[in-house]
């Protein structure tokens, strides 16, 4: 391997330590940061994600309110609970774990969360603030990616070309806007982009967030590029892998994130950071 590894676990630990210090200061001043996490149904992966978030809150000194609801919970009941949490001054962040059961409109639920407590950064008001460069909460995974770039000395991307493979509203588009704000030239691509390999080879910063195991190979990476792998896929043998073929890409890239242990830990770390920020702004 020639690429230098961006250790997401180590960086996330640093972010969590910063968050814990801020949370302790706020708590000492009489305002303990608090995050409400709502899980609807019994999706096994969601249960793991929620447990990890609740545990991370405890380690950072953030109070968590963990609510588990039956899969047949009516949408109106969920909206009413969100409304109550919006009105509670002791709750600073609200997160409804996705996916939701099919009878519940996920976008309606997201829009029900107060933008002041939208620590996931999914509300349309948060998206609008990002679009025009105003203060607001940024989605946690893109925010973690930007923190990783800052960590390796790439805060200002002036003169750099970034390619984001994956155009979702959760990762692709918000990250593209953040990269633009850092002065990069940005291209958004996807798995069906004509000559995707040629597009990727133009990237000084290449982000894979498309949900296709090992789609990005070393032959698609510009020598010396920074490769951020947002994907997490489970193979038939149970192993996890990203959207990047790590073995071949690492021979070409300058910096690269592993899966697991790369972008994933940063996502939860930035959720904690957003929650503390929400408390500080309250």
Residues 99 and 145 in one domain: no
d(CA 128, CA 148): 24
| Look-up of token digits 């059961």 | 101
Residues 85 and 145 in one domain: no
Residues 93 and 151 in one domain: no
Any domain includes 112: yes
Blockwise average pLDDT, block size 10, the chain, 282 residues: 93 98 98 98 92 96 97 98 98 97 97 98 94 93 98 96 92 95 96 96 97 96 98 89 97 97 96 98 94
* Res 257: pLDDT: 98
Domain of residue 235, CATH code: 3.40.50.720
* Res 238: pLDDT: 84
Residues 74 and 146 in one domain: no
Any domain includes 22: no
Residues 111 and 196 in one domain: no
* Res 1: pLDDT: 66
- Beta strand 185-189 with 240-241 is unpaired
d(CA 262, CA 256): 9
To the question of pTM greater than 0.85 for the whole model, the response is yes
Residues 63 and 167 in one domain: no
Q: Identify the three-state secondary structure at position 86.
A: helix
Any domain includes 132: no
Residues 109 and 161 in one domain: no
Residues 246 and 166 in one domain: yes
Any domain includes 236: yes
Q: Are 214 and 242 in contact (CB under 8 A)?
A: yes
Domain of residue 82, CATH code: 3.40.50.10860
Residues 98 and 213 in one domain: no
Any domain includes 83: yes
Residues 107 and 144 in one domain: no
- Three-point CA angle 141, 212, 244, nearest 5°: 70
For the record, the structure tokens of 121 come out as: 């950064």
Any domain includes 273: no
Any domain includes 5: no
Residues 156 and 108 in one domain: no
The number of domains in the chain is 2
Any domain includes 69: yes
d(CA 127, CA 80): 24
Residues identified as active-site? 53, 97, 120
Residues 106 and 144 in one domain: no
Range(s) of the domain holding residue 55: 30-116
């Amino acid at each position: 391997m020639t690429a230098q590894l961006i250790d997401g676990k180590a960086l996330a630990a640093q972010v969590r330590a910063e968050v814990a210090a801020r949370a302790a200061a706020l708590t000492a001043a009489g305002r303990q940061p608090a995050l409400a996490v709502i899980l609807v149904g019994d999706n096994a992966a969601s249960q793991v994600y929620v447990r990890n978030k609740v545990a991370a809150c405890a380690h950072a000194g953030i109070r968590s309110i963990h609510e588990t609801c039956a899969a047949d919970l009516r949408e109106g009941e969920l909206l009413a609970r969100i409304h109550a949490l919006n009105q509670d001054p002791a709750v600073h962040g609200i997160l409804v774990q996705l996916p939701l059961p099919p009878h519940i409109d996920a976008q309606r639920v997201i829009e029900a969360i107060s933008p002041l407590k939208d620590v996931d950064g999914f509300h349309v008001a948060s998206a609008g603030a990002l679009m025009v460069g105003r203060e607001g909460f940024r989605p946690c995974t893109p925010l973690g990616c930007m923190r990783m770039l800052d960590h390796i000395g790439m805060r200002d991307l002036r003169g750099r070309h970034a390619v984001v493979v994956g155009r979702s509203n959760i990762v692709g588009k918000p990250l593209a806007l953040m990269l633009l704000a850092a002065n990069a030239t940005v291209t958004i691509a996807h798995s069906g982009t004509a000559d995707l390999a040629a597009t990727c080879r133009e990237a000084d910063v290449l982000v894979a967030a498309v949900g296709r195991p090992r789609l990005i190979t070393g032959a698609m990476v510009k020598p010396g590029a920074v490769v951020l792998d947002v994907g997490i896929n489970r193979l038939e043998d149970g192993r996890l892998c990203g959207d990047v073929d790590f073995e071949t890409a690492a021979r070409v890239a300058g910096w690269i994130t592993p899966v697991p242990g790369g972008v994933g830990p940063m996502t939860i770390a930035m959720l904690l950071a957003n929650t503390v920020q929400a408390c500080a702004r309250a």
